[in-house]
């Protein structure tokens, strides 16, 4: 993977971990559908492989439904000791001292797969959005990214661009990292799709 592309994926993951009410860090937000993953998403192959890794290593304690351990519910994204994807991988690899959570010697590919499956809500037909560091996402959103110059979030900010307060629950959220990567192209595409009489639109 090219270093620049990898860096952008990391930024997208952090950015979308921050956005309020998206609840990515706690709910494993999904977007239904098939196809190649956008930056910031796990691939369908990762999700499918993760189902097998989970069944082989985790069902004994967490059950097939992910809610076999106390208040933890992996399918719904309810964790005690993790929020980001890196946290999950660390807990799986190292275990949690003083608890029944043992360490697992999984390969990097297996770790990626099992986290993808968890983020997909245990649905092998869903896309799974990567979840990064919410604190870093906030710093990008409010700082270097310059997002607050135009966007409004939870009642704060201007109204010159779409309100992002509920962006995580909006239809088509699986394309949001792509929108951030090339916002101008995405805006042009939306304007094109909305013009009356255009081939392939509802107004045709």
Q: Residue 29 and residue 1: Cα distance in Å, rounded?
A: 25
Query: What was the pLDDT predicted at 33?
Result: 36
Query: What was the pLDDT predicted at 65?
Result: 93
Encode pLDDT of 27-76 as tens digits.
333 333 333 445 568 889 999 999 999 999 999 999 999 999 998 999 98
- Domains, the chain, ranges and CATH? 3-170 (1.10.760.10)
- Nearest in space to 106 (alpha carbons), one of 91, 128, 122: 91
Instruction: Classify 156 as helix, strand or coil.
Output: strand
Query: What was the pLDDT predicted at 92?
Result: 95
Chunk the chain into consecutive blocks of 10 residues (it has 204) and report each block's average pLDDT, rounded to whole numbers: 49 50 36 44 91 95 93 88 88 93 95 93 82 66 82 82 67 49 52 49 42
- Asked if 145 and 15 count as a contact pair (C-beta separation under 8 A), the reply is yes
Query: What was the pLDDT predicted at 91?
Result: 94
Query: What was the pLDDT predicted at 180?
Result: 55
Query: What was the pLDDT predicted at 15?
Result: 53
């Amino acid at each position: 993977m090219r270093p620049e592309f990898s860096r952008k994926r990391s930024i997208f993951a952090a950015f979308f971990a921050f956005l309020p009410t998206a609840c990515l860090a706690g709910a494993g937000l999904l977007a239904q559908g098939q196809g190649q993953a956008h930056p910031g998403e796990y691939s369908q192959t990762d999700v499918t492989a993760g189902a097998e890794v989970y069944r082989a290593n985790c069902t004994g304690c967490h059950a097939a439904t992910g809610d076999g351990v106390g208040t933890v519910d992996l399918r719904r994204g309810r964790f005690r000791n993790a929020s980001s994807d890196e946290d999950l991988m660390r807990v799986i690899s190292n275990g949690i001292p003083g608890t029944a959570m043992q360490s697992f010697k999984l390969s990097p590919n297996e770790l990626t797969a099992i986290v993808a499956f968890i983020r997909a809500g245990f649905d092998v037909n869903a896309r799974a959005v990567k979840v990064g560091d919410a604190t870093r996402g906030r710093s990008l959103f409010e700082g270097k990214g310059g997002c607050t110059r135009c966007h409004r979030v939870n009642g704060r900010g201007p109204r010159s661009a779409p309100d992002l307060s509920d962006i995580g629950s909006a239809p088509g959220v699986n394309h949001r990292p792509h929108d951030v990567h090339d916002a101008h192209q995405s805006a042009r595409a939306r304007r094109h799709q909305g013009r009356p009489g255009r081939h392939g639109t509802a107004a045709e």
